[in-house]
Structure 1
């Protein structure tokens, strides 16, 4: 067997964009890509937060930069991609991560609640994916990794808007995989269960909820941000070249029961 033909998990020379990359799961995935050799551009709406993170990562030896953008604004999204191409000449990897949640029972969801969640989680994913795809089609290569959730495939109370957005992301992933495969672009999604982040931390303070989540998970624990590191590196690397249109559940076994 010729082992020289086996693909590598190394990302040396790759340029990656991680939206919502200044904290939580986004930052963990950005760090994982940086550790494996990629230059990582993190994006969010808060410039001061981005600069603080970039300084910290550079101090730890990672190759990071940042760009400010609101993913719900199409003009800002296109400016973001143009900025990356101007600075780095290409975009190899997109981690389409920016998201939010407003938890309310169905009958309490206001129009503004729905709009905020759908605009960020679904329209924002669409805007960034579309802009990145245009560049990757020119390059005739690329990796797009959309961040979904187990709630894109299962039902849970008080998650109307969020679950709708994540189910939409799953379908976008499959459609984009079909459209972009002729251009050597892989499109996949990572669907985590509950991960300890600044966004979930207040909600996980409820002991009953915490206990229920642990009971629903085969591995009997809440996920840590480091648990998404391996999956994102795999999907960003040449090791996943024959994987596209896939929703990778990172859920401790929750959806396998």
Structure 2
């Protein structure tokens, strides 16, 4: 039997990158997948391909998150897994370039915290009651190694991801007695559209690759496989874990 046969999974930021890879893996393992993304067209294309359902969602807006959870409930009657994957990199106004605290506009702080941290919190807030009613579930939050390690110029992004890590620990303790496990992955550099602008030049590419002792960036599927494991019954006694997926960066 497939690991997610009969289970319902929501993946935010599911239309591309690590989210897309996770959607494909969950579907291959038998899950009914809700592909949630603010790129509604991309979410719909992927959902059609994997036999899931799609919804355009801005996770910074609580009303959108509520609609996402309701879709899972009305369409499938339950929710077993939430992969809080949606996120943005560095400031839009700086074209995703690194920016120190004195250079980052206040509105960019608002945007990064709203999507990366508040979006994760709202997903948990509205998913947990439905999971509890169904007998339990698993939440995996996609933070970053930058929430653990200090990286100059990643001020707002690191603060948001560090908040996700702390939130994971609190929720893991609060909800395990109700059958809800909460874990967190912290990827290092991954080959996605988010990191592409940082690697446009040879200097930038060397800098990004140099962050990992593995000497390369991860693929989206490598990261997604870890998230899928943590969401599965194979990890039934894993709770509150903050797991680097970074090729050894955190071990330095």
- Equivalent position to 2:52, from 49, 54, 64: 64
Q: Secondary structure at the match of 2:102?
A: helix
Verify the 8 A CA contact 1:100 1:117 in the aligned structure 2. Answer: yes
The one of 60, 68, 84 equivalent to 2:72 is: 84
Structure-1 residue corresponding to 2:242: 247
- Residues 70 and 216 from structure 1, CA distance in 2 versus in 1: closer, same or farther, beyond 3 angstroms? closer
Note the C-alpha offset of 1:215. 2.9
Q: In structure 2, what is the Cα distance between the partners aligned to 1:15 and 1:97? A: 16
1:205 aligned onto 2:205: no
Matching residue of 2:126: 131
Match of 2:62 among 74, 83, 86: 74
Instruction: Give the secondary-structure state (helix, strand or coil) at the position aligned to 1:98.
Output: coil
Q: Give the structure 2 partner of residue 39 of structure 1.
A: 32
| Structure 1 unmatched runs, 5+ | 1-7
Cα shift readout 1:103-126 (whole Å, capped 9, x = no counterpart)? 312211111010000000001111
Q: How many matched pairs?
A: 245
Identify the residue that residue 114 of structure 1 maps to in structure 2: 109
- Find the counterpart in structure 2 of residue 12 from structure 1: 5
Question: Hey, what's the Cα distance between the residues in 1 that align with 2:68 and 2:25?
Answer: 22
Q: 3-state SS of the aligned residue for 1:217?
A: coil
1:31, CA displacement in angstroms? Answer: 1.1
Distance in 2 of aligned mates of 1:147 and 1:215: 22
Q: CA RMSD in A?
A: 1.4
TM normalised by structure 2 equals: 0.93
Q: Kindly indicate whether the alpha-carbon contact (under 8 Å) linking 2:44 and 2:55 is maintained by their aligned counterparts in 1.
A: no
Rounded to whole Å, the distance in 2 between the matches of 1:226 and 1:122 is 23
- The equivalent residue for 2:88 is 100
- Residue 42 (structure 1) shift: 0.6
Name the residue aligned to 2:14. 21
Alignment equivalent of 1:165, drawn from 156, 160, 168: 160
Q: Distance in 2 between matches of 1:45 and 1:231?
A: 24
- Paired position in structure 1 for 2:228: 233
Structure 2 unaligned residues grouped into runs of 5+:
92-97
How many Å apart are 1:155 and its aligned residue? 0.8
Alignment partner for residue 46 of structure 2, among 25, 38, 53? Answer: 53
Displacement after TM superposition at 1:76 (Å)? 1.8
Distance 1:215 1:70 in 2: 33
Other structure's SS at 1:108 match: coil
